[in-house]
Chains A and B, each alone.
Chain A
Amino acid sequence: MAMAALQQALAARIAGLDLPATGWLGPLRAEALARLSVQGLPGKRDEYWRYTDPAALNSATPPRASAFDSGGEAPVFDGIDRLKIVFVDGVFDAAASDDLALAGVEIDLLSRAMTADIHWAQGVYGRLEAAGQVPVNRPFAALNSAFAPEGVLIRVTGKAVKPISMIYHHKSDSSDAILHHCIKIETGADLTLLENGPAAARFNKVIEVDIADGGSFHHIRAQGRDHDRRAVTHVFARLAAKARFKSFTLTANGMLTRNEVVIDLQGSDSLAHVAGAALGDGAFHHDDTVFITHRAERCESRQVFKKVLKSGAVGVFQGKILVQQGAQKTDGYQLSQALLLDDDSQFLAKPELEIYADDVKCSHGSTTGAIDEEALFYLRARGVPRKTAESLLVLAFLAESIAEIDDAAIADDIRARLENWLARHDHSGAA
């Protein structure tokens, strides 16, 4: 698309959106809109969208996506003790949610807090997103900051006794949800955030996480099983000294998912691990785009992304480790692997390293291929039926990403989802 066409598309894209510009949030939204106007929407020839066509995210109205019947499978995290915050098509559902009260944690809804003159979230909202726009444009994140009508603002001052869990239900065929969450982890504080559900026909979500010295943030999400949904999500994290950030994402199905994670390691001795397991069968396009910047000494970053693809599913990985001058003793690791279960599927990867410091240890690995015939033969020779053997090997392949989940009960829950998915997709019967 030519520039003029993209400008028009942007005008059409935001025409229906409301800019609730009140209180402390007003100027932050205006700045975000200014960023978006300069950037415009991404085009197909945009290098950062080389492998993912943004058309369905650019369109003025979302392509229709019917709500999904999970066939009685219990929702993920059901057995976990947690504080539930429920959204239906991007709208807060007070009745279905728990009281927004948890010891050591302040929880506000964006729609309620934004009318105030001042708020702690002033120092976070749109700020981490703006910082994450360099050196690569992320227009959907700017759009989100400008127009998100709702979100959750969470400030953690101690160790949260249970996880906060965001549940995103999808009911309307044409819903176009935008949510923007801000999380501030104060010095030494600790929070686990769970997210699950497809959210809407089209979903644009931003989470900004600001972690102070010694703070810790653990994030586990399961993106809903809807086949037709489209989603673009961004996580922006800023880490001070000795802070910890760990994130795991399970994606099963979905016509289009683009998950961007942008991490800025500003304090020394901080740690960031980002992992993902994606399963796709048929009309599935899944894109993990990760950008980790090391600015301080002795930080560790780790990316582990695994994809299992069949029947024309497409997996994309764009990962980058940027080590700035002076970020000595950096330990950066990046792994992207795809298992192609048939000849129609594709894996497209661009694992990048950009390094300006010499005393560092950085590596990446990427492999693509079919199930190892020798391993399969080994199992079958021991009497394991072919299907079971294949499932076992797929689970083994995904294991390294699931290992990034610290909580054993949550990891078991995720593993059970994977097994169910594999069982359902044995004979390419979509479910």
Chain B
Amino acid sequence: MSEDQIEVRDGVDRETIEAVHAMSGKYKYGWETEIEMDFAPKGVSEDIVRLISAKNGEPEWMLDWRLAAYRRWVTMTEPRWAMLHYPEIDYQDIYYYAKPKSMAGKPKSLDEVDPKLLATYAKLGIPLKEQAFLAGVQDEAAPRRVAVDAVFDSVSVGTTFKAELAKAGVIFCSISEALRDHPDLVRKYIGSVVPQTDNYFATLNSAVFSDGSFVYIPEGVRCPMELSTYFRINAENTGQFERTLIIAEKGSHVSYLEGCTAPKRDTNQLHAAVVEIVILEDAEVKYSTVQNWYPGDENGVGGIYNFVTKRADCRGARAKVMWTQVETGSAITWKYPSCILRGEASQGEFYSIAIANNAQQADTGTKMIHLGKNTRSRIVSKGISAGRAQNTYRGLVSMHPKATGSRNYTQCDSLLIGDKCGAHTVPYIEVKNNSSRVEHEATTSKVDDEQLFYCRSRGMDEEEAVALVVNGFCKEVLQSLPMEFALEAQALVAISLEGSVG
């Protein structure tokens, strides 16, 4: 890494190009860890729900909650309104619980964790050793540290920096631990943002979620470091159903990062996560995702089916949430991180880059539900389609009659690379008072020939030139990412588009 990577803030620089070379190869994270696993029998039933609950040693009420969700789920039908085409999912042909054998007795500290698991994360570039920090941000004076909760298939492998976070009063652990150690907090908030009955995939998750992260930031605390969860699907035919719950008390602040990868396989795998965020008065949560699940091969064989429900509830006045997502992976993406702006003058922001190449399909966007007075929201969505991919922005901006004096600004831009792909925009705009202002703009265009020519005439090959132009197109979103992710995302943009030119 060069010393002048700060330039990344300007969107495009030679880092991008270097990164393309450095990370050459198709899907970088497609390998598999050979490790002995414990599986629950395939399929989902009340018994499986009971088994997952028992494995996690959960209290009775949690089991009842899961069972209620399961009973609801069996009465529901899978939604098919998204612009996604995929074969029927056989929900009985999936393992709902997979745990490395070595995790049978929960390790007390990271030192006790199976070295194979640690090696997996090291290979992914995720440091689980506490002194480590992410590459590219080495600053001797003030090393940037990130606490990590690593989730491997169904279980959390370990969480770093727990002791140090505890000093600040921050709770950061897996949700199974939280259910043991802080059951009252979990009980108070779980399902309060995404109810059990919310939608097909969220309801399934409510029944069978195996692990996930739990974050609690006490009143007035600014979380001393960035928190992150790293999800890895490893075992074959396994669904991953994690559940994340973040609670930001009055006046607190946290930045949370999420990353995901999976091995290359010919079969499709299901991922149905739920993220709930509760934000009280004057608190601020920044949630950033780099979603890089295995997208399938050029012919659309294999890849992750990603059906995710993410929602933030700004309950207090002046609460603020910022979603940033870089969606490059998955064969199918169905994801609409939402903001409920309940508190007066609360704020929601959504920045998204969605890249679909080859046979990938993405249907993603956000919902901004303005309920409180003087609430503000901003949506910046950049969709890039290449190959035979289909990329849809789907969003809702709703101004309720009482949300007077509110503002929304939405910008959705789509870029098409090649004549076999599709880019679609499906916004819903519902305005029910006149003191609010809503503005929506969308454009669709192709990579500008003049810009390409400019780059080519300066000696870049076509792929490099496209990567550069695309990074420029995404600049506004890349700039809203935390530093570590901005670098990774930029490189990813280039890699995801490999093979899209010519």
Query: Quick one: CB contact mask for B417-458 with A, threshold 8 Å, 1 for yes?
Result: 111111111111111111111111111111000000000000
Interface pair A355/B420, CB less than 8 Å apart:
no
Q: Is A357 an interface position by the 8 A CB rule?
A: yes
Query: Quick one: CB contact mask for A365-408 with B, threshold 8 Å, 1 for yes?
Result: 11111100000000000000000000000000000000000000
Instruction: Tell me which residues from 361 to 415 in chain B have a Cβ below 8 Å from any Cβ of chain A.
Output: 399, 401, 404, 414
Q: Is A360 an interface position by the 8 A CB rule?
A: yes
Interface pair B441/A365, CB less than 8 Å apart:
yes
The CA of A370 and the CA of B433, in the complex, are separated in Å by 9
Which chain B residue shows the least CB distance to A332? Answer: B444
Which chain A residue shows the least CB distance to B436? Answer: A369
Interface pair B435/A343, CB less than 8 Å apart:
yes
Interface pair A356/B422, CB less than 8 Å apart:
yes
A119-127, A220-228, A346-354, A409-417: which lies at the interface? A346-354
A53-61, A270-278, A334-342: which lies at the interface? A334-342
- Number of chain A residues whose Cβ lies closer than 8 Å to a Cβ of chain B: 35
Evaluate whether A363 and B444 lie within 8 angstroms (CB atoms) in the complex, with A342-B434, A343-B401, A368-B429 already known: yes
- Number of chain B residues whose Cβ lies closer than 8 Å to a Cβ of chain A: 37
B residues in contact with A348, CB < 8 Å = 429-431
Q: Is B416 an interface position by the 8 A CB rule?
A: yes
B residues in contact with A356, CB < 8 Å = 421-422
Q: Is A289 an interface position by the 8 A CB rule?
A: no
Quote the shortest CB–CB distance from A312 to chain B (angstroms). Answer: 10
Evaluate whether A360 and B420 lie within 8 angstroms (CB atoms) in the complex, with A342-B434, A367-B440 already known: no
Interface pair B429/A364, CB less than 8 Å apart:
no
Interface pair A338/B444, CB less than 8 Å apart:
no
Which chain A residue shows the least CB distance to B430? Answer: A348
Interface pair B438/A369, CB less than 8 Å apart:
yes
The CA of A348 and the CA of B432, in the complex, are separated in Å by 8
Q: Is A204 an interface position by the 8 A CB rule?
A: no
Q: Is B61 an interface position by the 8 A CB rule?
A: no
Quote the shortest CB–CB distance from A322 to chain B (angstroms). Answer: 9
Interface pair A343/B446, CB less than 8 Å apart:
no
Of the candidates B404, B417, B424, B432, which one forms a contact with A353 in the assembled complex, judged by CB atoms under 8 Å apart? Answer: B424
Evaluate whether A363 and B441 lie within 8 angstroms (CB atoms) in the complex, with A349-B429, A350-B428, A355-B416 already known: yes
The CA of A385 and the CA of B431, in the complex, are separated in Å by 29
Quote the shortest CB–CB distance from A349 to chain B (angstroms). Answer: 4
Evaluate whether A347 and B429 lie within 8 angstroms (CB atoms) in the complex, with A354-B424, A355-B423, A358-B419 already known: yes
Interface pair A363/B442, CB less than 8 Å apart:
yes
Instruction: Tell me which residues from 323 to 372 in chain B have a Cβ below 8 Å from any Cβ of chain A.
Output: none
The CA of A366 and the CA of B379, in the complex, are separated in Å by 14
Which chain B residue shows the least CB distance to A367? Answer: B439
Interface pair A353/B444, CB less than 8 Å apart:
yes
The CA of A358 and the CA of B444, in the complex, are separated in Å by 9
Instruction: Give me the 3 closest cross-chain CB pairs, A-B, nearest first.
Output: A340-B434, A358-B416, A369-B437
Residues of B within 8 A of A (CB): 81, 83, 399, 401, 404, 414, 416-446
Residues of A within 8 A of B (CB): 47, 325-326, 328, 338, 340-343, 345-370
Given contacts A346-B432, A367-B437, A370-B434, 9 further A-B contacts (CB under 8 A): A345-B434, A347-B429, A355-B414, A355-B423, A360-B416, A364-B440, A368-B436, A370-B435, A370-B437
